[in-house]
Structure 1
């Protein structure tokens, strides 16, 4: 509903997370409260939007999150219609993921070296 990629959510949750782990999490029927709170904080969505999920209700909760006390919308998303900007953004995301992959590879190599010794 928020158009957030699994890779982006995994990155925001920290180095213990991966796209695959997010995918598996999405398939779970029950998510632990502490994990739900962490995801809620990252997505800036109330925990209630996840509990007893109902698409229409979730939209209302998410929508109400972005209203101030006077009922005026504070959230004004900007839509990027410039393909060059989108291409640059995707390239930057790719670089971040590549650097993370290199770090993970280096960590794996260190672990393998320790095992060999």
Structure 2
């Protein structure tokens, strides 16, 4: 039985980082100037040449070393240690205003605008009648 350390699967690391970034293969392909099939092949391979790795790392917003040393266990540990579920504490997320009051306020504003519009139309009609009477 061999005790040699198994090399990291770079393609799988790229795939997981891409998925964690909520990025599709096609989007990554466009970002590095290739096609989706190439990304699929890269993600299936154990190693990637340094130049491609740099381009992929830049598109994913990480360093090439982060891709090489990526560990899902570390990600889950970080999330587990930093995520704080405040469901035990009671929070008050009430509105600072009454929505019905705001609705009534807007209806009243609309009524005033309609009244002004009607008054303008009445004034216009009266002015036109006055002009016709002069002729």
TM band (smaller chain): 0.3 to 0.5
TM-score (norm 2): 0.39
TM-score (norm 1): 0.44
